[in-house]
Structure 1
Amino acid sequence: MLWFVSMILFTLATFGLELWEGNKISTTEYYGFQNIGFVFIFLAFLFSAVLYPIIIFPFSWVVRMIANPLISHIMILLLSGIGGYVFFYKAYDERFIQEYHLNSSIAIILFGIAGSIYVLVDYYLDQRS
């Protein structure tokens, strides 16, 4: 269940970042939503489908084994924001960031919100089981 939730949240955060910051880039050199359309969303969804079993699930499983639930949820939330920061600098070239005045804090906020929703769903599912 969390895999699907993670894929949706990552895709929405990626799409939100693209709408907020990526639309500022007005060159055909960058392949964002303006240039490739819904293929961008499909690629983000596909990337998130691969990202969960390789990184997110093993990490969250290890954190749950080591720490109590509150600490593990806080760590997942913080790592979501850090992941947004890393994703921002991987998605946008340094030249684009400087030339179009892109702001990485938007990525931190959007991915942090996605992490918050993920933690809330995780908590809800944990309480139900």
Structure 2
Amino acid sequence: METVKHYLTMGLLFISLFTVALFSLELFEGRKISTTLYVGLNNGGFSLMLVLSLLLGFVIFLFIFLPLTFILDKFLPSFLIKLIVFSAIGCLGGIGVFNMMYGFQGGYLITEYDLNINSSILIFGLAGLSYALFGHHLKKRTQSSKKCSTS
């Protein structure tokens, strides 16, 4: 039961971090876009972005981060490796999200509004780092509560 609770908590954490990272990216880069072709926070797309980020976060967690977290927890208990892996995946995910949000129409928005992909890499890399740190803290807390209950 504790394992299910742990991974449900990690899922909620991931979806929250992904949503915050997506909105942060939109605040840093999307606010530069002033065309009506792009529906962002400036053009009243808050609820659309919220729903899509929650759904996309759930799908990414379910198919990528849940299996990866489970495998790393089982076979690679090193905290440092988890930090590196989740941060790197966050950075790569930041590249994908940036291209998904702003790279359509041949990258017109990126070149026309001078959008910087480095902010996306940094934001999503920090989200991956936060995911690893919180997961480590949660696991230590769970293990210490098990020790206290068996004593």
Q: TM-score, normalised by structure 2?
A: 0.79
Calculate the aligned-residue CA RMSD, in Å. Answer: 1.4
Once the 2 structures are TM-superposed, how far is the Cα of residue 47 of structure 1 from its aligned partner? 1.2
Any unmatched runs of 5+ in structure 2?
Answer: 1-8, 143-151
In structure 1, distance between residues paired with 2:21 and 2:95: 12
Which structure has more relative contact order (CA 8 Å, sep 6+)? It is 1
In structure 2, distance between residues paired with 1:65 and 1:72: 12
Match of 2:77 among 65, 68, 71: 68
Match of 2:96 among 67, 80, 86: 86
In structure 1, distance between residues paired with 2:82 and 2:128: 12
- Residue by residue over 1:36-59, the C-alpha shift from the partner in whole angstroms, topping out at 9 and shown as x without a partner, is 222212211121122111111112
Match of 1:108 among 113, 121, 127: 121
Once the 2 structures are TM-superposed, how far is the Cα of residue 64 of structure 1 from its aligned partner? 3.5
Once the 2 structures are TM-superposed, how far is the Cα of residue 108 of structure 1 from its aligned partner? 0.8
Match of 2:63 among 54, 60, 66: 54
Once the 2 structures are TM-superposed, how far is the Cα of residue 22 of structure 1 from its aligned partner? 0.6
Paired AA for residue 20 in structure 1: F
Any unmatched runs of 5+ in structure 1?
Answer: none
Structure of larger gyration radius: 2
Q: TM-score, normalised by structure 1?
A: 0.91
For this pair of structures, how many residues does the alignment match?
129
Once the 2 structures are TM-superposed, how far is the Cα of residue 68 of structure 1 from its aligned partner? 3.5
Alignment match, 2:47: 38
Paired AA for residue 128 in structure 2: G
